[in-house]
Structure 1
Amino acid sequence: MSAGNSHDVKVLNGLVEGLIDSADGYREAAAEAADPGHSDWFEARAAERRRLADDLRAAVRERGGSPEEEGSILAKAQRAFMDVKAALLRDDASVVGSVESGEDHLKGRFERALADAGLSATTKETVRRAYAEVKAGHDQMSALKHSLEAQRDADNPLYPK
């Protein structure tokens, strides 16, 4: 594997790890969500993240590398925290807030990869295509979070009507 390919493989594997973390987070959010519609949406997003991870794994193999198969230890710790938080708060807004935080992190990873001048043009295009889906998912999660927050505020008896 050439030095250029080595850098590309490292960056791609970092993104694969982030996508695995995201898929795992969405899967856990689906299990924690009280609203079946949210649960279904989280499951669909988890499947999308797994597919994107598979696409980037294929790109790693094309460049002569060995693809990442697991998520990060830090993400596992964050999901454990999310489990405790959801058990205490028992509402979809807290679950969505935790997932949205993870989505911010994943989006940032992709943006750093796109700004990496050391990536080959081919790898950068692969990352750009995956980023479009990551950003769309991030934006939808952010909109859901804000919608749930607004609903919670509107349901508050102290909220001026």
Structure 2
Amino acid sequence: MTNTTKKTTHSLNDLIGVTRDGREFYEEAAQKVQDPDLKALFTRLAGVKAAIVNELGGAVQAAGGTPEDSGTMAGGMRQMYAKLRAGLGDKEYSYVAELEESEDRLLEAFRETAADNDTPAAARDIVTRLLPEVQACHDVMRDRKLAMKRAA
């Protein structure tokens, strides 16, 4: 495996882990909230995250690597914190707020990878192509959080 292939695989696998965190978090949140609109939103965004993971995984395989098959420790800790927070207060708002934070983390990771001059062109191309979709998911959760905060 060449250094470029290793760097491509590493860069994309980092994003797979963070995106997988988001998918798992959305799936869990969809099971925990009662509001049907939030359930539908969380389920839809989990599907978007799954599609991104699949696309990134395909790029890792095409580069000759093995796609990451788990999330990150930080993502798992954030989910545990969200469960605790939801148990102590407004469950729906708590999940939205924590998922919005998760979207912030994912968006930052994608932006950093796209802007990193050490990221190989093949990895940067796929990240740049997926970035608008990541941004759109972020914006949906940000807007939902702000709307819920104003309504409170």
> Does the pair score TM above 0.5?
yes
What amino acid maps onto 2:32 in structure 1?
Answer: E
Could you tell me whether the CA contact under 8 Å between 2:7 and 2:119 is conserved in 1? Answer: yes
> TM-score by structure 1 length?
0.91
Distance of 2:48 and 2:142 partners within structure 1: 17
Write out aligned runs for 1:39-78 (5 A).
39-78=39-78
Q: CA deviation at 1:32?
A: 2.1
Matched length: 152
Structure 2 residue 146 is the aligned partner of structure 1 residue 150: no
What amino acid maps onto 1:33 in structure 2?
Answer: V
Structure 1, gaps ≥5 residues long: 153-161
What amino acid maps onto 1:62 in structure 2?
Answer: A
Following TM superposition, where does structure 1 have runs of at least 4 consecutive aligned residues deviating by more than 4 angstroms? none
Distance of 1:123 and 1:73 partners within structure 2: 23
Distance of 2:150 and 2:41 partners within structure 1: 20
- CA RMSD after TM alignment: 1.0
Distance of 1:123 and 1:14 partners within structure 2: 11
Structure 2 residue 113 is the aligned partner of structure 1 residue 85: no
Distance of 2:9 and 2:130 partners within structure 1: 15
> TM-score by structure 2 length?
0.96
Could you tell me whether the CA contact under 8 Å between 2:16 and 2:53 is conserved in 1? Answer: yes
Could you tell me whether the CA contact under 8 Å between 1:30 and 1:43 is conserved in 2? Answer: yes
Distance of 2:21 and 2:143 partners within structure 1: 21
